[in-house]
Amino acid sequence: MKISPHLHQRIRLKNLSITVILLVLIAALGWLSTRHVLQTDITGNAANTLSSASQKLLESLPGNIQITAFIKNGQPIRNQISQLVARYRRHKSDLTLTFIDPEAQPEKTRELNISTSGIIIVNYQGKEEKIRFLDESSLTNALLQLANANERWVTFLAGHGERSPEGVANFDLREFSKELARRKINTQTINLATMPAIPDNSVLLVIAAPTVPLLAGEQTIIQQYLKKGGNLLLLTEPDNPQTGLLEAVGLKQLPGTIVESNSKLFGIDDASFIVVSEYPQQVITQGFQTITLYPATAALVPVEESDFQANVLFMSSSQSWTETGALNGQFRFDADSIEKQGPLNFAYALTRELDINKQQRIIAIGDGDFLSNAYIGNVGNREMGLRIVNWLIHDDRFIDIPAKNAVDTKLQFTKTSIAMIGFGFLIAIPCLLLGAGFIIWRKRKQG
């Protein structure tokens, strides 16, 4: 059939119209894809989808959430953080993520005490949480803490040389007090010699390593506070054992200072510095993966009869012992003395069920330095201190989100399979394409 110029023009216009319509459809689909995201997780264990617990929490949070990641430019972890936050943004569009290079803002870095490894800060409704290791569990639990933080008061005992939450000396606790204030946990001090009662608004009493013994009347007030179910954080030191206070909670302190023979493995020359990298499975340490540092630590042991259930919180390594001699020059474990070989427990979480709905919580630690101004910035000390306080004031509603391990991440072929695949892609498919092209060319030429 002979095609007239008019018919040829109509065919060209028809083809052009179809092409324009297809291009418009493609552009419209592209624009819609930027406005509406449709995703399907086809991984074996939904590794790229938030758990139902995280989704429910996001749905219950009004207002925007700001996440600031202080991570150096060019670090691969930036992509990992972006991918994780993108999963949260699918369920909460007003969640924002900002990256800041710590080297670009040195003053802000010093103010926030950011280490070289970086840190992630989550802000919500005027409160903030810091995360050093980011995964779904840590981020969801940080949001949970921010959503449930009401104003509370923590009372620090004073008048016996204790570490002050307002002091600026290296041994004081002002920096830790600031961290508590950011979470609406206010601090106050009390001298039982002038005010012989624990304030009613106090949710926790902190006794931070007194340097002189408490008076008998003061110990009686504290014991009455404990009998009524009050929560307590008790810090002690090797050279200042608080015998009466420890006995009241069912513990006793061993003589000497814990020393580690392998402390140099962590780059520490002082053997009295205890580094903890492994923790018992407890609510306080759930998901915690950072080492903590404890200078000049005393070992603690539970007494045989006590109303409290004692669970070990921190312990030294098997290469440690309680050194009763001077910590200078060369010293070694003396098996014939009162020294004890490690591992040694130096922190306990104590609980007592008062009734069905109330549990008394106490933590005793044989070191008062790890939260001081001088050491709180070391590795995970700050976060551990906050976890301890949160648990003591019953603000430990952590969500247990199990880690999602990828399945079938490896695909293995036999040599025969690899040869067949190579033959198919390199020879068979190109030959088929060439053959099909040749046949089409011959038919068009013959027609």
Q: In this predicted structure, what is the pLDDT of residue 348?
A: 96
Q: What is the pTM of this model?
A: 0.69
Residue 41: pLDDT band (50, 70, 90) is: low
- Which of 78-82, 133-137, 233-237, 335-339 has the least mean pLDDT? 133-137
Residue 147, pLDDT above cutoff 70: yes
Top CATH class of 52-143 equals alpha beta
Residue 361, pLDDT above cutoff 90: yes
Strands 232-235 and 202-208: parallel
CATH 3.40.50 for the 150-392 domain, yes or no: yes
What are the structural domain ranges in the chain? 52-143, 150-392
If 0-12 CB within 10 Å is exposed, 13-18 middle and 19+ buried, where does residue 113 land? Answer: middle
Q: 428, 166 in Cβ contact below 8 A? A: no
b or e along 264-277 (b: 16 or more beta carbons within 10 Å of the residue's beta carbon)? eeeebeebbbbbbe
If 0-12 CB within 10 Å is exposed, 13-18 middle and 19+ buried, where does residue 229 land? Answer: middle
State the average pLDDT over residues 231-243.
89
> pLDDT tens digits, residue range 374-421?
999 888 899 899 999 989 998 876 655 655 555 555 667 788 888 888
Residue 310: pLDDT band (50, 70, 90) is: very high
Mean pLDDT rounded to a whole number for the chain: 85
Residue 295, pLDDT above cutoff 80: yes
d(CA 98, CA 82): 9
CA angle 345, 349, 350 (to 5 degrees): 115
Residue 313, pLDDT above cutoff 90: yes
Q: In this predicted structure, what is the pLDDT of residue 13?
A: 85
Residue 47, pLDDT above cutoff 70: no
Cis peptide bond upstream of 343, omega within 30: yes
Higher pLDDT, 336 or 265: 336
> What DSSP character marks residue 214?
P
Q: In this predicted structure, what is the pLDDT of residue 409?
A: 57
State the average pLDDT over residues 316-334.
85
Q: 254, 299 in Cβ contact below 8 A? A: yes
Q: In this predicted structure, what is the pLDDT of residue 2?
A: 59
Task: Choose from 114-128, 323-337, 348-362, 404-418 the range with maximum mean pLDDT.
Answer: 348-362
